[in-house]
């Protein structure tokens, strides 16, 4: 089963201006979530790694100051069975 997130990437860009971004992650099995930012210049910023238990979990992600608009927040989720789901958010 795929891991779902809210808000969904199709709901529009997220703000990189605030100190945090809040995501709700729903999983049906034990899942490892890795979050990173890719800037327009190609810099990779590791943001968070978390283990999510079955059900819904809220992640509050600290965003480093100075993340430029046009960056992409990448959410990579790997479930116990090895299936992988990725969600990519544009940052404004």
Q: Where are the domains of the chain?
A: 4-90
Q: Measure the N-to-C terminal CA separation of the chain; round to a whole number of Å.
A: 30
Question: Beta-carbon neighbour count of residue 23 at 10 Å?
Answer: 20
What CATH architecture is 4-90?
Answer: Sandwich (2.60)
Give CA–CA dist 92/90, Å, rounded: 7
pLDDT at 85: 94
Which regions of the chain are under pLDDT 70? 1
Q: Which residues, 6 or more positions from 54, have their beta carbon under 8 angstroms from its beta carbon?
A: 27, 28, 29, 30
Closest CA to 78 of 67, 87, 69, 70: 87
């Amino acid at each position: 089963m795929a891991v779902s997130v809210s808000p969904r990437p199709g709901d529009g860009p997220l703000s990189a201006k605030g100190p945090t971004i809040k995501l709700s992650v729903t999983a049906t099995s034990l899942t490892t979530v890795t979050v990173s930012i890719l800037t327009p210049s190609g810099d990779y910023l590791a943001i968070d790694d978390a283990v999510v238990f079955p059900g819904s979990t809220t992640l509050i992600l600290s965003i480093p100051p100075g993340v430029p608009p046009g960056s992409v927040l990448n959410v990579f989720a790997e479930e116990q069975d090895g299936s992988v789901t990725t969600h990519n958010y544009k940052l404004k």
